[in-house]
Amino acid sequence: MKNGDLDYSVRELIRLHENNLNESDEKIIINLLISCKSIIGLEFSIQWIKKYMQSPFSQHGQTLVYFDTLDSLPYFMELLELGYNKDVKIGNELDGMLPIVLDGISNLAVQSQENFNEVCSLLRMFIDENKGRLEEVEFLNATIERIKERFFQNHSVKYTIVDIKRRLKQFSI
């Protein structure tokens, strides 16, 4: 990975994943695949969660902010639903899966207008479909608002002092 051969790294990690691994090694490989922006890492993490009923993520090193294309969104939405599953255990009390998944979704949303629109739309649908079924799902509205704020901060026009002075001269009488 340090030499920049991402394709090789992903191929080798997938090959290793196909071996009969223990729980810990499988978790490491999944997290490395995610670090390589590999959708397969997201897919394997979902399988791992369903198999072990435990979050493979930790706020102490693992993040999901690597993904910037919409092909990752269906996996994020499945991870989001799993994040509400009370049967899925977390490594320790500080490692809630939901905040890690929401960070990944938020990062994905702010990459482009298309991503922003699609992510916000799916989050609203998720809220509507799961009201009364998933505890506190309405709090995702606050996540949508934070995504909006971050998106507009990242994509708003920023002026330098030189730009502002030039524009002020246009208004001088």
The pLDDT tens digits for 82-134 are 999 988 887 655 557 898 999 999 999 999 999 999 999 999 999 999 999 99
171 versus 140: which is more confidently predicted?
Answer: 140
pLDDT at 140 over 70: yes
Say if 136 falls within a structural domain: yes
Say if 158 falls within a structural domain: yes
Task: State the total domains in the chain.
Answer: 1
Q: According to the model, what pLDDT value does residue 116 have?
A: 97
Q: In this structure, which long-range contacts are made by residues 84-92, counting pairs with CB atoms below 8 Å and at least 24 apart in sequence? A: 84/130, 84/134, 84/135, 84/137, 87/53, 88/49, 88/53, 88/54, 88/55, 89/53, 89/54, 89/55, 90/54, 90/55, 91/54, 91/55, 91/58
Could you give the count of Cα atoms lying within 13 Å of 133 in the half-sphere of its Cβ?
Answer: 8
Question: What average pLDDT does the structure give for the chain?
Answer: 89
Q: According to the model, what pLDDT value does residue 168 have?
A: 84
Average pLDDT over residues 42-53: 94
Average pLDDT over residues 138-156: 94
Domain that holds residue 166: 6-171
pLDDT > 70 in the chain, percent:
92
Say if 28 falls within a structural domain: yes
Q: According to the model, what pLDDT value does residue 3 have?
A: 65
Amino acid letter, residue 131: K
Say if 1 falls within a structural domain: no
